[in-house]
Structures are given as C-alpha cells and as structure tokens.
Structure 1
Amino acid sequence: MAVTWTNALLAAGSALAGALAVVVLTHLVVRLLARRWPPASRLAHSARRPFRALVVLLALSGWVAGVRPDPSSDWATWWDAAALALRVLAIGAGGWLLTAVLLFVEDLTLGRTRTDVRDNRLARRVRTQVLLVRRLTIALVTIVTIGAILFSFPAVRTIGASVLASAGLISVVAALAAQSMLANVFAGMQLAFNDAVKVDDAVIVEGEWGTIEEITLSYVVVRIWDERRMILPSTYFTTTPFQNWTRKNSELMGSVELDLDWRTGVDALREHLPSVMERAGEMWDGRVSHVQVTDAVGGWVRVRVLVTSYDAPTLYDLRCHVREELVRWVREQHTEALPVRRLLLDGQ
C-alpha cells in the first residue's frame, strides 16, 4: 500500500509539474508573439485564468485515470466520482477558455472601428453586428458546454437515444411554446445584418425622437432625447414602420420657422443669415443655409430657414442657435418684422 501511494504521489507531482511547464512555456511564447503582434498580450490577459484552470484540470484528470485503484477496492467508487468531477470541471474550463478566445476575436474586430468620427455609419454597423454576435456566442458556448457536461454522466448517455428519437415532437412543442421569444431572437439577428437600424442611429418610434442605445437578441433600447429609455421588442423594428434619420449617413437637414409680419424684409434676412451661420462654428457643416417663404396666410408671413449639420444632436443645437439669433435680430434691428395684429374699424 505504501508503495502504491508513493507512486500515486509521484505521478501527481509529475502531472502538476507538467502542467506548470506547459503554462510557463505558453507564457514565454505569448510574450515573444506580443513583440510582433501587440494584441497577443490582451489575449493572454483575458484567457490566462481559464487556460491555467484547464491545464491543471487536464493534468489531474490524467493522473486520476492513470493511477485508478483496483475496482474491488473501497476507494474505487470515490475515485470514479473524483474522475467525473474533474471531467466536468475540465469541460467547464474549456467552455470558459473558448468563450474568452471568441470574445477576444470579436473585440479585435470591434476595436478596428471608431464611432467618435463624423461619418461613423460603417463603424456603427460593425459595432451592432459584433455586439449581437457576442451575445449569441456566449449563449451557444454555454449550451454546448452544459450539454457536454450532462453527457459526461452515464445516466444521461443512456437516455440520450430516446430523447433524440423524440426530438422532432419536442422541437415542435418547444417552438409553439416559445414562438414569441424565438421570433424576437430571429428579429434581433435580422436587425444586426440587414442594416435597417444600428447602434447610435437617430430614430423616431412611437412618436418619440431618440437614438438606439442597445440591440439585443430579444429587445432594443431607445434612448429618448429627455434621457428616458424605451424598451421595444426586436419584432417591432421588423413589423412596424419607423423613421431612421441616419441609416445611410449621419448628415441631416433641419428647419427653423418664424411667423413674421408682412413688412418683413426677406432680402435683409438672407443677407444676415451668413453671419448667423458663421457664429454657429462647428455646428454647421457648411452645406446648406437657405431662407424660404413657405406661407403667407392668417396675417403673417411664415419664413423657413433650412440648415444642415453633421448629426442629429448637433443639428438640434444648431437649430436652437439659428432661432435665437434670428429672434434677437428681428427684435433689435428689424422691428417692423415683429408680428402684429391689425384691426380695421369701419366708421359707418
């Protein structure tokens, strides 16, 4: 018995030493690789813990399988239970490592796109797709890992054939029971790849203006202009008409309307507008700044000023700036344009 336990302890030490050697060797290889490819250091940081856990668990599993006692021994049952536990933990660590590697690859793709530039439509499209793929990756790896763990138990493998034989009926029942959830999942995947809506798109939904804050596999979060959040199922954007102001590009055109008196000098207003746009600074993209008279009924003249900007938030600030400047100009320098009501009294 003493010799047996001595051999077992020596085998355990050898297994742990081998695991340590693998970890150290991998660390050195990654450091050398990071000199030529800097992202390798980030991969090592994100996958360090699951990799070490997997190597140690595999080493211990090999040791347990190699020094298994005689089946008639009192330790055989406990030994089999330990082997099963190590196998389950190794499968979990493998799923953890696979998730870390896949998420690193997806983050690497995400890091190549920038959303802090003016024309960021392509970057927002890639970001939307990567975020959806991340959630799908985690869900699929989790399902596969749980399935592999369950099939590690002999009882589950025994009933596996009968379960697979009735998989057709089970899938039909499950599809009917989860029809709404599955519809949202497929709608979320469709949104990620059909370019109908992306993260940071400016949209109008349910009569509210806002931006797409988050797209998941089942719902979409819209950040309303007043900081409220509207949670909508993914199927909303595949079945209900909505306005997307930034689907093709971020540039937008907006209008500022003023009701003025009939004595308004439209030519003077046109001559004053360039100075207003010059004071707007970077809010104006320099494309459009027009003055139009769109209506002249009800005793007033309706003047519309068209302006353009880089994106929806900047356009809103630009419209407020133009409106304030024109109101100040009318009040201080062109008082005859102030709207007034005239009443004609007939003396007879």
Structure 2
Amino acid sequence: MTLNTLLDHPWFHTWVAALIAIVAAGIAHRIAQAVLVRVTRPMPALQSAVRTARAAAAFVLPLLALQAVWQAAPDDLHFIGRVRHLNGLALIACATWLVVSVIRGFADGLIAAHPVDVADNMNARRIHTQTRVIARTTMIIVGIIGAAMMLMTFPGARQVGASLLASAGVIGIVGGLAAKPVFSNLIAGLQIALTQPIRIDDVLIVDGEWGRVEEITGTYVVLRIWDERRLIIPLNYFIENTFQNWTRNSAQLLGSVYFHVDYGMPLAPLRAALERVVKAAPEWDGRFFNLVVTDATERTMQIRVLCTAASSGQAWDLRCRVREGLIDYMQREHPQHLPRLRIEGEKDAGTAPPATAAAA
C-alpha cells in the first residue's frame, strides 16, 4: 500500500484521530493519577480507592476518547456502526469495572484505617460490618446495572424485553418466587448493615454453637466455631430467628461458676481462697467477683461464684481457672466437706453406726 493510497483511505483521518486520542488519554490518565494520589494522601480511604481504580481507569479514558472519535466520524464510513457498538460495550464494561474498583478500594481503605486488633474494637467492628455489607451489596447492584446497560445496546434484547412485557404478570410472580431467597438475603444484609444486630468478630450462640463472626458476605455469615469448624448461616436467619450475641454492646462478660458442697463447708476461708485465685488470674479484668450461697437442698448447698473478664474468651478461661482453683483448695483443705450421701440408722435397732459414702 503506497503512501497516497493510505492517505486516500476513508479510515485514514479517523485512525489518526483515534491514535491521537489514545495517546492523549494515556497522558491524561498518568497526570490525573499522580495528582489524585497526592491530593488524597491525607485521606487513606480515598487514596486506596484511587490506587485500586488505576487499572480500570487506564482502559476507561482511552475508550471514552475513542468513543468520541467514532461518534465524530462520518456515518457512511464502512463498519463504523459496529465499531461504535463494540467500543460502547467495552466502555460500559470498563466503566462498571471502574465503579466496582472504586467501591472496593474505598471499603478496603476504610477497613484498614480501623483495625480490630486493639483492646477496644467495638467501633472498628461496627465500621467493618457496615462497610463490607454495604460495599458488596453496592458492587452487586452496579454489576447488574452494567450488564443491563450492555444488553440494552442490542436491538434484539429490547425486542425480547418488549415481547416479555405482555406476560409480565406471570413472569413477575414466577421470578419473584424463584428469587425470593436472593432478595430476602439482600434485604437482610442491608438491615444488618444499618441496625447492627451482628458485627465482624462478634461472639454468637447459634443453634447451641459458640463462635465468632468471621465474615459477612452478601448472602451468608461465616461463624468460626471454637473448634475451628465454620458454620455457614444465611443472612435472613439473623432477621427471622433469635440468637445470642455476647458482644452486642461490650466485649466484657460476667462469668459464673457453680459448686455443690456439704453444709459443713466454712464460707469465709472459701471466699479468701476465691480472692487469691481470681486476683492471681491474668484473665480477670479487676471489675468484680463474689461468692454467695444461691440454693440449699436436703443434701448440699449450692455456691455461685461470679467473676468478670474483658472478653468472652477470657471469661471462659477465667471460669475454668476459678473452678480448678477452688476444687483444688477444697480437696486439700476441706475434703470432708465435699458432697456426701449420709445413711444413718437406729443404734438400738441393731443397725450399723452412722456412715458416709462419697457421692458421685
């Protein structure tokens, strides 16, 4: 192909304009990226969004410039209609990618700015939960809108939509029934994000299982059980059912330990032993502890010990430490006052003298 032939080609001027548009868009992308990174330096969440969206923006700007070139080209140019359509599809896809990247980057930056590995992480867990749920829900909605916009660029898709409109009632009922779990979980996710019945790292009791909230997705919650199992629970479960949240307002807990002892057990030495055990325990948060008699049967009296800890895990360990410490003390100092079963007979009836047998 000679130079004159190339210059006379109908697409020559459009190709030159497209090349210039691509180069200009690339330069604009680099300048805008450097400026935005510098401007958003004091705002970690926005800077994270800018950095995450860098790859998508590198495609969006050239495609946007090319679309302007194709629209300015003559309508009688061969294949110009297909080129415009393909470029429009690519632009919609990359724009959707860009918006999703901005949302994901902003969410990651916001989460990174509020770490949960601190002593008082209540506010951080609230922000993590709201950010994750709202970001994922928004990204799903943006993806659906992007796909719908791409489909609407096809005339056939619009005709199918118009033909389905006549039977919208039946299709709406069937679609509604089929999509009920999806939409119920989506709505439940928004409710959880706004009302905060659960948060990331909350301690829950669900169906008798104790665990921490490890992840909240757009459709389910991952509960990490104490023995490293994972319990997968749909989001709408937490809207429609009751469950225990041990860290709803505070991570601090009041732990209880119960003992059954003989009526002869002296309480003052037992309280002194409890004080030594609790004050020596690293899990105790220094707020409160006590020992009281809460019940009395015909054989034993029930003793309740209360003690506080800063978190549910520490409360469990503290209860075990208190239980072991008091049992060890009673075995060493007052073994005769452990629960016993007494069998007493009549001496004048020739029966055996009073005897005792250790109860189970």
TM range, smaller chain: 0.7 to 0.9
1:16 correspondence with 2:16: no
Residues of 2 paired with 1:10 and 1:239: CA distance?
62
CA deviations over 1:111-146 (Å, ceiling 9, x no partner): 443433344333323322221112211110100100
Q: Tell me if the contact between 2:204 and 2:210 (Cα under 8 Å) persists in the aligned partners.
A: yes
Residues 330, 232 of structure 1: alpha-carbon distance in 2 compared, 3 angstrom cutoff: same
- Report SS of the residue matched to 2:341: coil
Runs of 4+ that moved beyond 6 A: none
Structure 1 residues 55-105: Cα deviation after superposition (integer angstroms, max 9, x where no partner): 12223333344445745xxxx24x433332221111111011111112233
Q: Does the CA contact (< 8 Å) of 2:220 and 2:234 recur in 1?
A: yes
Match of 1:59 in 2: 65
Q: Distance in 1 between matches of 2:26 and 2:174?
A: 49
Q: Contact 2:37–2:51 at 8 Å: present in 1 too?
A: no
Q: CA deviation at 1:254?
A: 1.2
Mean alpha-carbon deviation: is it higher for 123-132 or for 248-257? 123-132
Structure 1 portions without partners, runs of 5+: none
Q: Which residue of 2 aligns with 1:306?
A: 306
Q: Which amino acid aligns with 2:88?
A: R
Matched residue SS, 1:248: coil
DSSP 3-state at the match of 2:307 = strand
CA distance in 1, matches of 2:186, 2:41: 41
Distance in 1 of aligned mates of 2:187 and 2:289: 43
Deviates more, 1:17-26 or 1:105-114: 105-114
Q: Which amino acid aligns with 1:211?
A: R
Mapped pair 1:242 → 2:243? yes
Q: Residue deviations 1:141-198, cap 9 Å, x none? A: 1001001111122333445445556555533332133233333332232222223222
Which residue is equivalent to 1:200? 201
SS in 2 for 1:319: helix
Q: Distance in 1 between matches of 2:127 and 2:292?
A: 40
| Aligned amino acid, residue 120 of structure 1 | N
- Which whole-Å CA distance do the structure 2 matches of 1:21 and 1:300 have between them? 85
Identity within the alignment, %: 35
- Between 1:312-321 and 1:225-234, the stretch displaced more is 225-234
Give the 3-state SS of the residue equivalent to 1:232 in structure 2: strand
**Native 8 Å contact 2:188 2:235 kept in 1:** yes
Residue type matched to 1:285 in 2? Answer: D
C-alpha distance in structure 2 between counterparts of 1:203 and 1:42, whole Å: 32
CA contact (8 A) 1:220 1:231 kept: yes
Give 3-state SS (helix, strand or coil) of 1:285's partner: strand
Q: Which residue of 1 aligns with 2:122?
A: 121
Partner SS, residue 287 of structure 2: coil
Q: Is the 8 A contact 2:46 2:106 kept in 1?
A: no
Q: Map residues 161-180 of structure 1 onto 2, 5 A cutoff.
A: 161-163=162-164, 167=168, 169-180=170-181
SS in 1 for 2:258: strand
5 Å-filtered alignment, 1:96-245, equals: 96-163=97-164, 167=168, 169-245=170-246
Contact 2:219 2:235 survives alignment (8 Å):
yes
Which of 12, 19, 39 does residue 33 from structure 1 map onto?
A: 39
Cα deviation 1:297-336 (Å, max 9, x = unaligned): 2533322110111121110011111112112222223333
Indicate conservation of the 8 Å contact 2:221/2:232, yes or no. Answer: yes
User: TM-score, structure 1 length as denominator?
Assistant: 0.87
Does 1:328 pair with 2:328? Answer: yes
1:16-52 per-position Cα deviation (integer Å, ceiling 9, x unaligned): 2211221122133124314554555433320110000
Q: 1:132, 1:216 within 8 Å by CA — same for their partners in 2?
A: yes
Structure 2 equivalent of residue 3 of structure 1: 7
Tell me the TM-score normalised to structure 2 length.
0.85
RMSD of aligned residue pairs (Cα, Å): 2.6
Cα distance between partner residues in 1 of 2:271 and 2:103: 58
- Preserved contact between residue 118 and residue 250 of structure 1 (Cα < 8 Å): no
Query: 1:3 corresponds to which letter in structure 2?
Result: L
Aligned residues: 342
1:61–1:83 CA contact under 8 A, matched in 2: yes
TM-superposition CA deviations, 1:230-278 (whole Å, max 9, x none) = 2233332222222222222221111112222322111111122222112
1:266 maps to what in 2? Answer: 267
Is the 1:33–1:40 contact (alpha carbons within 8 Å) kept by the matching residues of 2?
no
